[in-house]
Structure 1
Amino acid sequence: MAPVCLSACRQLLPVRSVSYLCYLFVFSLLFLWRYSDAALWTYDRQTLMRIKSAQESQTLECPPAPHNRRHPRFIHPSSTLPPFNRRHPRFIHPFADCIHQLPCCAGYRKKRRRNRGNRGGIRVRIRREISFSPAQPRTRQLSTVYAGHSDLYLARRSWDPRYSCHLSVAPFRTQIPASPARPRLRVRSGGVNLQNIRPLELTRCQQVSVFSAKAALINCRSVSNKTFILNDFFTGHDLDLLFLTETWITSGPGELSAFGELCPTNCSVISTPRCVGRGGGVALVFKNRLKIRTLSTGNYSSFELQCVKIESTTTPLVCALVYRPPKPDKDFISDFSDFLSQFVPLHDRLLILGDFNIHVCCPGRPMVSEFCHVLDSFSLLQHIDKATHVLGHSLDLILSYGIFIDKLNIEDASFSDHMPIVFDITLSNPMCTVKTPGRFSRYINSHTAIQFSEMFKKTAFSTADRLPSNPDELISLFHSSCSDILNSVAPLKYRRPKLTSQQWLDEPTRSFRQACRKAERRWKKDHLTVSFDIFKNALLTYQAAAKKARTKHFSDIINKNSHRPQILFGTINSIINPHVSPDADASTDICEKFLKFFTEKIENIRSQFNPSPSDITPGCSGATVIFNTFKQVSLEELREIVSHMKPTSSPHDVVPSHIIKDTFDTVGPSIQNIINSCLASGTVPSCFKHAVVQPLLKKHNLDAKCLKNYRPISKLPFISKVMEKVVLSQLQPFLDLNEISEPLQSGFKTLHSTETALLKVTNDLLLTLDSGENAILVLLDLSAAFDTVDHNTLLTRLEQWVGIKGTALDWFSSYLKHRTFSVSISQFFSSTAPVSYGVPQGSILGPVLFGLYMLPLGNIIRKHNISFHLYADDSQLYLPLKSKDSLQPLLDCLDDIKGWMATNFLQLNSNKTEVMIFGPPKSKHTLVSNLDNLEPFVKSHARNLGVILDSELCLDKQICAAVKNCFYQLRVIAKIKPFLSPKDLEKIIHAFITSRMDYCNSLYIGLPQSLLNRLQMAQNAAARLLTGTKKHDHITPVLASLHWLPVNFRIQFKVLLIVFKALNGQAPSYISDLIHPHQAPRSLRSSGNALLHVPRSRLKRKGDRAFAVAAPRLWNQLPLDIKKAPSILVFKSRLKTHLFTLSFPAS
């Protein structure tokens, strides 16, 4: 294939002149090299053969000027033609942006004389080419392509193939619509038939969206006293990213409250405090629309570092925020080089900025040359060329690699000795967070319940003489009736997510902010010192006014809702722990991922077990009583149940739970009809068996991207939970009356708690140690035990071990089977998946059914004569041992437990299995060597139901942990003290401090006073915080004025309260069995004093601390009127008065 232009050139050149040929050859090469971005038309061989012999001599002519009416002008908006193309124009189609144009090598041809009346020929051809538009629906052959320039002039003979030199280099469309059918264009002398042009496939260019993010770098030197100033700086400059160094924020409690004031609406912050010592710290404040996540980095001793990644669909941007302390450090260059060597090769776009405290403006300063050499070695660009400190040095630097930084401006310092640096970053295809979609919701006010009640009385559900007997049809009719009423009184309205404004910003504060900005403009205009002082004072005034306004705003909310604990503690939590981290991503795809994760987790556990049918079938316990049917619930019983239930609801609830509670007099009979129909038929409606699972991050500092860090929270319909409560109210008395439940199971049972379980276990261990023997404690834990329960095994156990048969068993079978769940995050929902295993999570009957599922376990442990205690899925095995005793019974028992759990689809969590040995150190070593496979699990201390037990049972570590937790909460409460009234502050202290000191404090009875003084110190600090008492003031009068019992007497109060409950049948049976009335050998005057028997003990730190010994001793010291109290409330009142008198005799 030969270009046409060469043939034309051959005719125009005189062969006889060799020098002229050489000159023209060099001239052509220069033009080909200079204009290599043109386009050529290409022809196949057949077309070339049809071209007439190039014997005709023709000349090219320079195109007319743009103002010539004969040749219209075509303009492209993005580029301009080079001079060469302006001399040799070609008609180029305006839709190919990726075509390079090569210059024509033909000479000029003489302008052809135009006859009058033929002007339309040129315009016809122009219109024909314009009609070849990409918007046409049909496919055509490509005749001409666009060269990518703006000034295009159409030459008269631009169709001539002999002088056309356009070649498509990078076509961008795969299909070109065809033009409408028109008569074939007449081929003139020297012309071309357009049908002979080779069709070219075009490809689409990739669309790249460019987003310019506005960023700023500030060394703020303490965030806490500039929160509102920085907030105004962020909003005033419309920033997307704000990099802060020297935040002086520590990792202590309540420190995040400063970021609650700093962060504007719909913004988040990532803070990296200094690990050790004061000062330092870096943080990034950004808008939530950007998708940003933190990157793990190494620890460097010479500088502080925070790395984040701004996600993008193409190439993400990695930002590294650095703060280097000003002190000389010889390791900085090596540490910084090590950091760059790790990050620069891994990322194509890198932004490194911060306060380096290196005077790059002074080449003679230390480390400057080495630092610049490091930057040059990694091809980093340094963008700061002016002073960034008030003393005239460039300390804050911005380094970049592979990104474009524009509009960099170093502003004057006003609130710090470092100058703010504002600049723009170009982000390509940034991944923005998915905006929360609008949702349909109802506006419910105080009149909604009244209107709903009046209209419900007129519905078919209330007035119909005959209702459906099928529970599914019945609940469907109820839902449709309620839905119609709610659509009338409170119709669904689409609500868009709104930006939450700063509600505390009142008019006086706004005026202070306006004055601040006015002073700033004046200072920037005249640059006078007096203007700067005025501006600085205005900033301080605005900061103080904003903090005062915010304090008053939250104080009003707390005082207004002090009687509503949910709002009270929610508001306080928003102050203490502001929502400064970005929300987890929410979308339907993420909901599907959670759905798959939760389902596969249970399937993986279940797949590890493959028991035979004979192993699954449990032996019959010989149940002698039968529970056949449920009795019909009365309206008064139902009213009592509903009134005591929490107003929780599911997203699929048709009627809100609080509306049901408010209108129970009207809807109560209908709900009664539905529940009685379900109990009578032994079926549960399908809508009652669907749970909506909402993932909840287990701890705020866990990785939000890891699905295993989330806990599934199931929400069930409110009416279904009411029905479960009705069933439990009939099942629980049957279990208690026939003593079917495991007596040593304390989980989810009335009158039982973790404290009573631990009191029983520690009592037995202390008595064992007091007798001179050793003791061993094994703590077992199960993995997802509630979710792996086999339904068929549970139904068999209910029938054979509990005695549930008939319609009641049918109801439980319908309740367990064919359940479903879906995952919900924000307004997004996943698809529905079946729940084939486990007891229903979030239900009322679930914990009770799990306890019945575990019934055979107690018999297995008792068979080996080993003491145990259960709390839900936590098991504790303990037994006394002498140094020469064999541990084989314990090992055999553990093997049987493991085998039984495998046949019942329960998996032991080996990571949480712990073994503790109590006794003298010499005998411990012998016992450890005999533990066989349990030896790796031996621990010196372990957490058991929230209490840290040590091998000496002195509870030293537990008290240290409790004191540490109390002071942590005290520091948090001190942050919010200005927002609270004294009454509300005392309520908060009891909720966060006193409750932690009182948790399982009955175990502290008999401990040395030196340990209890630590707890007393925490109580004294709380009293000083509440009353504002000075550090060196005497604390006893303060405690007396607050009516707070000291720690030692609070412990006695708890022990005596448990004794009173045990004597009056309001405590577990295993606690009541530890105390016995005193039986004198003969009649004495003290026989009527309600004394208890005090067992003998050997050791003061062991036996005397056991509940069976210490509790009767304290009880016998009480006055008789307290022992004979008619109720618990009277007993508490009299006991506190008695102990208060002993604590503060003078008062």
Structure 2
Amino acid sequence: MCFVRPNTVGVSGRAKHFRVRRGVKGGRRFIRRIHTVCVGRLSYVEHQLGANRNNLVYIFNDTLNNSCPIAKVPNETCETFPIPTLIQHRKKRIDNTSCRDGSNLLKIETSRVPIANTSGTLSLCTLNCRSSRNKSVSINDYIQSNNIDLMVLTETWLGSNTDNAILSELTPNGYNFTNNPRVDRRGGGLAIIHEKQVSVKPANKDAKYTNFEHLECSVGVKNKFIRIAVIYRPPPSKSNKFKNSVFFEEWTNYLDSLVLIPGELLITGVLNFHLDDPNDKDARTFTELLTEHGLKQHISDETHRLGHTLDVLITREDSPILQGTPFVADPGICDNNGNRSGDHLAIRTLLRLSKAPRERRTVTFRKIHDINIDKFRNDLDFSNVTYKEASVEKLIIHYNRVLTATIDVHAPQKSKEIVIRPNTPWFTDDLYSAKRDRRRAERTMRRTNLAVHNDIFNQKCMQVTKLIQHCKSQFYINKIQEIGSDSKQLFKLTNNLMGNTNLSVLPEHDSEIDLASKFGEFFIGKIQKIRENLCSLTKSPTMEVVLRADIKFDGIPLEAFEPVSIAEVCDIIGDAPTKSCELDPIPTNVLKQCLESPLPIVTEIINKSFSEASVPLDFKKAIVRPLIKGQGLDKDEFKNYRPVSNLPFLSKVLEKAVASRLEKHLNAYQLHDNVQSAY
């Protein structure tokens, strides 16, 4: 069967000339007739799907059996012939306008191959950074740009007395830092930078080895844990006097204890053996030891810029912990001056651990800044209570009810679930474009493996590092200028830059409610013990002598506090810091702006408290937060925490009123101790 390409001519019989487009031989609007073989008579609708009826050729049985060219036949009803067609599984289609006859189709059973789901994996990267002190900016950017969950660093050079500013610059927001520094000499050190959702607990801290450093951790997500051991072996030299024989002896003992640990096992780091050289005796010995312990080394590519495989990624022989094949990549690490640095390549792999979702938190808020203070002040109504007849408890209830109802109208409380993400406030559009160009250069380098593309990628890496430094510097310069003379905000910003942030440290827990209950029981029991000890001391005869007054008091005893005036309460509230508590009905800054309306009832609450000689129950309630006493203490021990209470604002106003009257009485009769210090 042969097909003849018809000529394309115009109405007058001459060939048409059309504008030619590059890549199309006949031009942009060149029209060719297409011979089509079909079965049966088609139901043709004008302009249906752009079909041209003149391009259709109908054939009969004898036409198919002849070898002569196909001739155009008139539009007559013809006999249909089934054409066997192979298809895959498709949805059943009901379409009367289709030319397909379903009885002519043959169904083929296919086996579906499952696609690897990378969303249920953890990204692991191992890098010998050789001093992270001068590469902190680049390492931080590499972790965030590649979405790395576990970043293993060897030769960190951080030391034991690490500057918090370096750790703050090295660790991205939303990540934690686990460090094992070298304390006896310069260099060395191991670290793991990991997302907060990934639990990393150091293990086997007591084991000490002379010829290699190790950091062994239990890493887990959603109650599934694996043991990860980070190893760094310095090459033997005259200065360290290391010997390979001693290393293999210690390495054998370490593997003997490590392989007995149940569960999955992963060893990564730098051994400084030429593992790719089959003639290297030490490399063969190392490989044989792995085989004897049922372990397997997965890295075969060169991991050093000058050649040879020096880094390892080891698992059990039958372990399914790795997702796919690990690969070696150029991380493009630069020092803080923007110059290329580092002689090792990065090892990247995926672990079959379900990636924990990002932390979600439900926050409640009010749009306080949208409140119209004039309207808010006019809506406050405290006229429905008689001050003289009401007790202090009823006055407080009425005060809280009126303020809460008013603020619910002007700024209703809303709830919103947010996802805690790493925050980079100095990120700019120029930096985004530079990172995009770097990623494009990296893909080109991997595809071609040409030296020129490698040089281009290095240039892009240096440009990004320098731009990051510039953006951060410019951001903080502008921030300092905006703060101006506000020393409190300047001190807060400086602490953030120096890494001295007061993070909330709490014991490991599964339920926040249970943890709060345990803290409450511990603090209540501690207070009860203090009271019991005081009671036992006051009953002893020696304590009576100690508590006896040295000088007899001849003045007027302070039996009652004089009432406060509206002007005095206004001054106390105006001089008080603008701090709020979650128990306050409205924020303190809003209260100060509309103080005229609630001022009488606040004054009456204080005077009622003086006359009844009692502190209202609502003033005794507080938000208690446990604060760890010092860095380095065991966070799982409750005795290492102190309770910090946040009281309602009005309770502090009452304290100020009482303190002023007490101080006045002590000064009037010179009752202060001459050597009184602090409390």
When the two structures are superposed, what TM-score results if normalisation uses the length of structure 1? 0.44
Q: 1:596 is matched with which residue?
A: 521
Residue 458 of structure 2 is aligned to residue 550 of structure 1: no
Q: CA deviation at 1:211?
A: 4.2
Q: 1:353 is matched with which residue?
A: 268
Q: 2:578 is matched with which residue?
A: 647
Q: 2:432 is matched with which residue?
A: 510
The one-letter code matched in structure 2 to 1:425 is L
Distance in 2 (alpha carbons) for counterparts of 1:728 and 1:501: 44
Q: CA deviation at 1:629?
A: 1.0
The one-letter code matched in structure 1 to 2:275 is V
Which of 410, 413, 422 aligns to 2:348? It is: 422
Q: CA deviation at 1:275?
A: 2.1
Distance in 2 (alpha carbons) for counterparts of 1:264 and 1:374: 38
Output aligned runs, 1:563-712, within 5 Å: 563-577=485-499, 584=506, 587-603=512-528, 611=536, 614-615=539-540, 618=544, 621=549, 623-624=553-554, 625-712=556-643
Output aligned runs, 1:357-436, within 5 Å: 357-365=272-280, 367-401=282-316, 404-413=321-330, 414-415=332-333, 416-427=342-353, 435-436=359-360
Residue 425 of structure 2 is aligned to residue 494 of structure 1: no
Q: CA deviation at 1:370?
A: 4.2
**Secondary structure of 1:594's match?**
helix
Distance in 1 (alpha carbons) for counterparts of 2:497 and 2:468: 15
Which of 476, 496, 502 aligns to 2:397? It is: 476
The one-letter code matched in structure 1 to 2:622 is A
Q: CA deviation at 1:546?
A: 0.8
Output aligned runs, 1:817-966, within 5 Å: none
Output aligned runs, 1:760-799, within 5 Å: none
Indicate how the Cα distance of structure 1 residues 334 and 468 shifts in structure 2: closer, same or farther if over 3 A, else same. Answer: farther
The one-letter code matched in structure 1 to 2:601 is S
Residue 196 of structure 2 is aligned to residue 281 of structure 1: no
Q: Which runs of 5+ in 2 are unaligned?
A: 1-109, 112-118, 334-341
Q: 1:439 is matched with which residue?
A: 363
Distance in 2 (alpha carbons) for counterparts of 1:612 and 1:246: 58
Distance in 1 (alpha carbons) for counterparts of 2:378 and 2:197: 46
| Contact preservation (8 Å) 1:388, 1:419 | yes
Q: CA deviation at 1:346?
A: 4.2
Output aligned runs, 1:1117-1132, within 5 Å: none
Q: 1:294 is matched with which residue?
A: 202
| Contact preservation (8 Å) 1:260, 1:579 | no
Which of 450, 461, 465 aligns to 1:528? It is: 450
Distance in 2 (alpha carbons) for counterparts of 1:437 and 1:240: 21
Percent identity of equivalent pairs:
26
Indicate how the Cα distance of structure 1 residues 579 and 357 shifts in structure 2: closer, same or farther if over 3 A, else same. Answer: farther
| Contact preservation (8 Å) 1:272, 1:282 | yes
| Contact preservation (8 Å) 2:505, 2:628 | no
Distance in 2 (alpha carbons) for counterparts of 1:723 and 1:268: 43
**Secondary structure of 1:438's match?**
strand
Indicate how the Cα distance of structure 1 residues 340 and 450 shifts in structure 2: closer, same or farther if over 3 A, else same. Answer: farther
Distance in 2 (alpha carbons) for counterparts of 1:475 and 1:406: 62
Q: CA deviation at 1:578?
A: 6.4
**Secondary structure of 1:611's match?**
helix
Distance in 1 (alpha carbons) for counterparts of 2:501 and 2:539: 54
Distance in 2 (alpha carbons) for counterparts of 1:312 and 1:541: 36
Which of 158, 162, 165 aligns to 1:249? It is: 158
Distance in 2 (alpha carbons) for counterparts of 1:338 and 1:581: 40
Q: CA deviation at 1:368?
A: 3.0
| Contact preservation (8 Å) 2:299, 2:326 | no
Distance in 2 (alpha carbons) for counterparts of 1:439 and 1:219: 41
| Contact preservation (8 Å) 1:408, 1:421 | no
| Contact preservation (8 Å) 2:167, 2:499 | no
Task: Name the structure where helix makes up a greater proportion of residues.
Answer: 1
Q: CA deviation at 1:285?
A: 1.9
Q: CA deviation at 1:691?
A: 2.0
**Secondary structure of 2:468's match?**
helix
Q: 1:217 is matched with which residue?
A: 126
Asked which structure has the greater RCO (Cα within 8 Å, sep 6+), the reply is 2
Which of 740, 746, 753 aligns to 2:677? It is: 746
1:509-557 superposed Cα distances (whole Å, 9 cap, x missing partner): 1121122112112222222211111110110110010111011112211
Indicate how the Cα distance of structure 1 residues 406 and 311 shifts in structure 2: closer, same or farther if over 3 A, else same. Answer: closer
Indicate how the Cα distance of structure 1 residues 308 and 703 shifts in structure 2: closer, same or farther if over 3 A, else same. Answer: farther
| Contact preservation (8 Å) 2:198, 2:221 | no
Q: CA deviation at 1:363?
A: 4.7
Q: CA deviation at 1:321?
A: 1.6
Distance in 2 (alpha carbons) for counterparts of 1:276 and 1:449: 64
Distance in 1 (alpha carbons) for counterparts of 2:537 and 2:232: 64
Indicate how the Cα distance of structure 1 residues 251 and 576 shifts in structure 2: closer, same or farther if over 3 A, else same. Answer: farther
The one-letter code matched in structure 1 to 2:449 is H
Distance in 1 (alpha carbons) for counterparts of 2:286 and 2:324: 25
Q: Which runs of 5+ in 1 are unaligned?
A: 1-149, 152-209, 749-1147
| Contact preservation (8 Å) 2:151, 2:192 | yes
Q: 1:324 is matched with which residue?
A: 233
Q: CA deviation at 1:606?
A: 6.0
Which of 159, 174, 177 aligns to 1:269? It is: 177
**Secondary structure of 2:598's match?**
helix
| Contact preservation (8 Å) 1:263, 1:580 | no
Distance in 1 (alpha carbons) for counterparts of 2:586 and 2:305: 64
Indicate how the Cα distance of structure 1 residues 715 and 523 shifts in structure 2: closer, same or farther if over 3 A, else same. Answer: same
Distance in 2 (alpha carbons) for counterparts of 1:281 and 1:581: 25
Distance in 2 (alpha carbons) for counterparts of 1:723 and 1:513: 57
When the two structures are superposed, what TM-score results if normalisation uses the length of structure 2? 0.71
Indicate how the Cα distance of structure 1 residues 262 and 478 shifts in structure 2: closer, same or farther if over 3 A, else same. Answer: same
Distance in 2 (alpha carbons) for counterparts of 1:390 and 1:274: 25
1:540-597 superposed Cα distances (whole Å, 9 cap, x missing partner): 1100101110111122112211322222111111111166989645722222222222
Indicate how the Cα distance of structure 1 residues 273 and 614 shifts in structure 2: closer, same or farther if over 3 A, else same. Answer: closer
Distance in 2 (alpha carbons) for counterparts of 1:476 and 1:707: 35
The one-letter code matched in structure 1 to 2:442 is E
**Secondary structure of 1:497's match?**
strand
1:752-794 superposed Cα distances (whole Å, 9 cap, x missing partner): xxxxxxxxxxxxxxxxxxxxxxxxxxxxxxxxxxxxxxxxxxx
1:703-746 superposed Cα distances (whole Å, 9 cap, x missing partner): 33332322221111111011011001001221233343443331
Output aligned runs, 1:1109-1124, within 5 Å: none
**Secondary structure of 2:591's match?**
helix
Indicate how the Cα distance of structure 1 residues 464 and 709 shifts in structure 2: closer, same or farther if over 3 A, else same. Answer: closer
1:335-377 superposed Cα distances (whole Å, 9 cap, x missing partner): 4444444544344332221112122223543643443344344
Indicate how the Cα distance of structure 1 residues 594 and 364 shifts in structure 2: closer, same or farther if over 3 A, else same. Answer: farther
Distance in 2 (alpha carbons) for counterparts of 1:230 and 1:309: 23
Distance in 1 (alpha carbons) for counterparts of 2:281 and 2:598: 82
Indicate how the Cα distance of structure 1 residues 714 and 233 shifts in structure 2: closer, same or farther if over 3 A, else same. Answer: same
1:965-992 superposed Cα distances (whole Å, 9 cap, x missing partner): xxxxxxxxxxxxxxxxxxxxxxxxxxxx
Distance in 1 (alpha carbons) for counterparts of 2:418 and 2:210: 45
Which structure: larger Rg? Answer: 1
Q: CA deviation at 1:449?
A: 4.6
Output aligned runs, 1:967-1006, within 5 Å: none
**Secondary structure of 1:358's match?**
coil
| Contact preservation (8 Å) 2:301, 2:328 | no
Which of 457, 468, 482 aligns to 1:560? It is: 482
| Contact preservation (8 Å) 1:469, 1:677 | no
| Contact preservation (8 Å) 1:228, 1:262 | yes
What value does the CA root-mean-square deviation take over the aligned residues?
Answer: 3.3
Residue 216 of structure 2 is aligned to residue 307 of structure 1: yes
Distance in 1 (alpha carbons) for counterparts of 2:635 and 2:537: 40
Q: 1:452 is matched with which residue?
A: 376
The one-letter code matched in structure 2 to 1:444 is I
